[in-house]
Amino acid sequence: MVIRMESTSYDLARRAAHDAAAARAFPGPDFRQVLQWIHEIVKPAAYVEIGVHSGESLALIGPGTLAAGIDPAPKPGFACPEGARLYAMTSNEFFRRHDPARIFGGRPVDLALIDGLHLFEQALEDFCNLERHMSREGIVAVHDTVPLDRETSSRRRTTEFYTGDVWKLVPLLNRRRGELEIATVMTGPAGLTLIRGLDPACDHGRLRQQAAGFRDLDYDYFDRFVRNSQRTIPNHFAAVGAFCQKTPVQSTRSSGAATPSA
């Protein structure tokens, strides 16, 4: 989710301008609609959501899905849908204290959403912790991977519309985990990246070490190298379904400059 600040000191005109810019950049259904499509297509038996907030995305689970929602500070009034359980803790604490296989009766996780703390290193940690418990046929979705601009994607938050630097996870995985299939749905407010071809036995310690040079990348790097080289798929049901079902999917990869080593 795009994180909203509770402070009334935020300039509402700036918020409106950011929302309008995101609507222009990402026409069509928003990420919750895309996530609903994915639930309908995948029909996960086990689903994990990191970053529940108000519960709107967790409420998209269908009949027969067991879900674990993780958020240290869910919005007051949050109510779990049938089949879901809320874990009011950080994702790091959740994976220290709980084994998803036990929660889901021995099943691996079929679908997961990373939408928690909007910092690169935490998104990476969430991915590593999730992949260990994913089905090899599973899908990890990462929200907020296409930053709107420099201000709203900085590591230090100064705006209500805020995606942080989660986007750095995509070039890291493209470079260091070439066996993964990664595509970004250009859906508002800030993109949704889908990752499949997962390997629960991956050496995640090595991946964490390889991530060191990516933390300090700035928005210019995204604008010059990532924006025009990432694989994207159209924001409609058929294209999302084709990716999720591992059938040929029409995608685009712009012909920009080659991504340099980080």
Q: What is the pLDDT of residues 146-183, one digit of tens each?
A: 999 999 999 999 899 999 999 999 999 999 999 999 99
Is 259 a member of any domain? Answer: no
Share of the chain above pLDDT 90, in %: 84
- pLDDT value at residue 41: 97
Is 122 a member of any domain? Answer: yes
The parent domain of residue 79 ranges over 27-246
Is 261 a member of any domain? Answer: no
Is 20 a member of any domain? Answer: no
- What's the rounded Cα separation, in Å, for the pair 39 and 259? 33
Is 19 a member of any domain? Answer: no
194 touches 244 (CB < 8 A): yes
Is 164 a member of any domain? Answer: yes
- What's the rounded Cα separation, in Å, for the pair 165 and 144? 9
- pLDDT value at residue 6: 47
Residue 212 reports pLDDT greater than 70? yes
Is 257 a member of any domain? Answer: no
Is 148 a member of any domain? Answer: yes
Residue 12 reports pLDDT greater than 90? no
pLDDT digits (tens, 9 = 90+) for 67-104: 999 999 998 888 899 999 999 999 999 999 999 999 99
DSSP 3-state helix, strand, coil percentages of the chain (rounded to 5)? 35, 20, 45
Number of domains composing the chain:
1
pLDDT digits (tens, 9 = 90+) for 226-261: 998 999 999 999 999 999 998 654 555 543 333 445
CATH of residue 173? 3.40.50.150
For the entire predicted model, the pTM comes to: 0.91
Handedness of CA 94, 113, 66, 181 (dihedral sign): negative
